[in-house]
Amino acid sequence: MPLSKLSAPHLEFREVPSTKKGGTIAIARQGERPVVYLDELVINWASLPNSWTKLLFWLTGSAPGLKVNRVYSKVFCSDIQAVAQTVLDALEDNPAIVPAHGTPLVHVGDVARVRALVEPLAKSTT
């Protein structure tokens, strides 16, 4: 069944288009502000991961810190513009942001920081 049919009154699932392995954005709208799980495009690792992928994330500039996951965007996205636009569309109403990897983003200004990372990808031609 499509993810859009799985929604509850305060929960919405959005499929991330143009990904080779599939992707999902979840939005919970209950309480003062929404909470958005962004899937893989944005990560917020305090340090590089402790695995064999450490070098890959370092070489691509994907970590540490709040970054675009360039491994994901280059390897698993067939249309980065569509993926980025889906992420941007989910950032309405100043949500708290939960990336797939790393610390959640809950402070004033975090949405603007994520938008600044993702907007160039939505406009890119490569």
Contact between 38 and 72 under an 8 Å Cβ cutoff? The reply is no
| Residue 124 pLDDT grade (very low, low, confident, very high; cuts 50, 70, 90) | confident
Residue 22 CA, chain-centre distance (Å), reads: 13
Looking only at the bridges linking them, the beta strands covering 96-98 and 35-37 are parallel
What pLDDT shows up at residue 49?
85
What pLDDT shows up at residue 83?
96
pTM over 0.75? The answer is yes
Residue type for position 1: M
Tens of pLDDT, residues 54-112: 989 999 999 999 999 999 999 999 999 999 999 999 999 999 999 999 999 999 899 99
Domain assignments of the chain as residue spans, ordered by start: 7-123
Average pLDDT of the chain?
91
Which helix H or strand E contains 115, and what residues bound it? helix 110-123
